[in-house]
């Protein structure tokens, strides 16, 4: 199952979308989401049912596998109860400060409020990878230079560039867990192949159309919710699924695991790491959604037999960021 760099380069040449939507394009395959596509997706709302696909952002998140990523740190900066106490008991300097800065809030009136701060890697929990997240040979998607990502952020292909693309479209769940007939998750070393995606599409009696966002249920997130082990390996798409996504004109792909693709080098490309990331983000301009919570959606789709829905998943527009948190929802 391991490919060579020659295989990789052949696939990269086949799927590369550079120039397809103009030399200055920064949204890649999101261009498949036309106004007609957005309207088609809205037409899938029949029951008024909203299903959250976002995990919690908390200190109990999935980070731990890599030392360079941590779970969110959330602290309170103003607490209305504390403020009342400070006014009454705080040292004089603090009482003066409260009186000077916040008298409108906390002086002799009943109004109180709470504020907070969060510090986190943008890749910590449910997220989109921007196209500027991964590159090779000094080029980003559409040929933009890799050094256009600086300590000031990404001058090209930052997550904010998705702008009025939403991101919203017709979402289609592909339930690998149900297809494999297991009730846990896709074990490491058993990547999901393009043929298996076709089998799942047939089994679910659903069509993949241009501009769809494909959402792949591997069971990893549900397993994490029960074990709390964010470092546990799972499986994902085989790197050759990049060609399948290209042929079907998929706008974006998301999964409930750490990397969407299978990270096992034995199923990858000799001499490199995460080849599907390189093909999708850099060659195709196709964004990857990671750590989505797909258990409730999978259960709902199995119950009503409807695997298509309106997907609404706009990332936070963090200017120059190479990825961003998202709280996606599926609406049926």
Min dist. Cβ of residue 277 to ligand UVW (A) = 5
Residues 114, 119, 123: CA angle, nearest 5 degrees: 130
Stretch that binds ligand UVW, among 51-59, 70-78, 129-137, 196-204 (CB under 6 A): 129-137
The secondary structure of residue 240, as a DSSP letter, is T
x-or-dash string of contact with ligand UVW, 233-262, rule CB under 6 A: -------------------------xx---
Cα of 7 vs its chain's centroid, Å: 27
Whether residue 252 contacts residue 210, with contact meaning beta carbons closer than 8 Å, is answered with: no
Span 266-285, contacts to ligand UVW by CB under 6 A? 274, 277
Which stretch of DSSP H or E encloses residue 254? strand 252-255
How would you classify the pairing of strands 213-217 and 252-255?
Answer: parallel
Residue 86 to residues 36, 80, 208: CA-CA distances in angstroms?
57, 10, 59
x-or-dash string of contact with ligand UVW, 35-54, rule CB under 6 A: --------------------
Stretch that binds ligand UVW, among 23-31, 128-136, 164-172, 183-191 (CB under 6 A): 128-136
Candidates 29, 123, 168, 310; binder of ligand UVW (CB under 6 A) is 123
Q: Which residue minimizes CB distance to ligand UVW?
A: 259
Candidates 290, 293, 300, 308; binder of ligand UVW (CB under 6 A) is 290
What DSSP line would sit under 256-272, residue for residue? SSSSSB---GGGSBTT-
Within 10 angstroms of residue 56's Cβ, the number of other Cβ atoms is: 13
Number of residues near ligand UVW (by CB under 6 A): 9
Stretch that binds ligand UVW, among 127-135, 161-169, 228-236, 299-307 (CB under 6 A): 127-135
- Could you list the residues that contact ligand UVW (CB under 6 A)? 123, 129, 133-134, 258-259, 274, 277, 290
């Amino acid at each position: 199952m391991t490919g060579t760099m020659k295989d990789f380069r052949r696939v990269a040449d086949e799927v590369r979308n550079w120039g397809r939507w103009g030399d200055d394009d920064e949204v890649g395959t999101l261009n498949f989401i036309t106004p007609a596509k957005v309207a088609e997706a809205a037409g899938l709302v029949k029951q008024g049912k909203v299903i959250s696909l976002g995990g919690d952002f908390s200190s109990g998140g999935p980070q731990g596998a890599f030392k360079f990523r941590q779970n969110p740190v959330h602290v309170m900066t103003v607490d209305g109860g504390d403020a009342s106490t400070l006014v009454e008991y705080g040292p004089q300097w603090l009482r003066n400060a409260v009186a000077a800065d916040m008298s409108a809030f906390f002086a002799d009136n009943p109004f109180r409020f709470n504020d907070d701060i969060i510090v986190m890697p943008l890749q910590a929990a449910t997220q989109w990878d921007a196209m500027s997240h991964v590159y090779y040979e000094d080029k980003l998607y559409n040929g933009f230079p890799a050094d256009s990502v600086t300590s000031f952020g990404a001058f090209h292909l930052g997550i904010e560039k998705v702008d009025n693309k939403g991101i919203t479209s017709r979402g289609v769940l592909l339930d690998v867990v149900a297809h494999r007939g297991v009730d846990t998750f896709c074990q490491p070393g058993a990547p999901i192949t393009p043929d298996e995606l076709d089998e799942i599409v047939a089994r679910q009696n659903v069509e993949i159309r241009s501009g769809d966002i494909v959402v792949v249920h591997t069971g990893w997130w549900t397993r994490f919710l029960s074990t709390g082990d964010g470092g546990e390996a799972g499986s994902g798409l085989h790197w050759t699924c990049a060609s399948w996504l290209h042929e079907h004109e998929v706008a974006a792909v998301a999964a409930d695991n750490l990397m969407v693709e299978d990270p096992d080098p034995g199923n990858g490309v000799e001499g490199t790491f995460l080849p599907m990331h390189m093909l999708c983000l850099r060659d195709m301009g196709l964004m990857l959604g990671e750590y989505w919570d797909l258990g409730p959606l999978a259960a709902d789709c199995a119950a009503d037999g409807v695997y298509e829905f309106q997907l609404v998943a706009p990332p936070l527009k963090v200017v120059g960021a190479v990825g961003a948190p998202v709280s996606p929802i599926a609406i049926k």
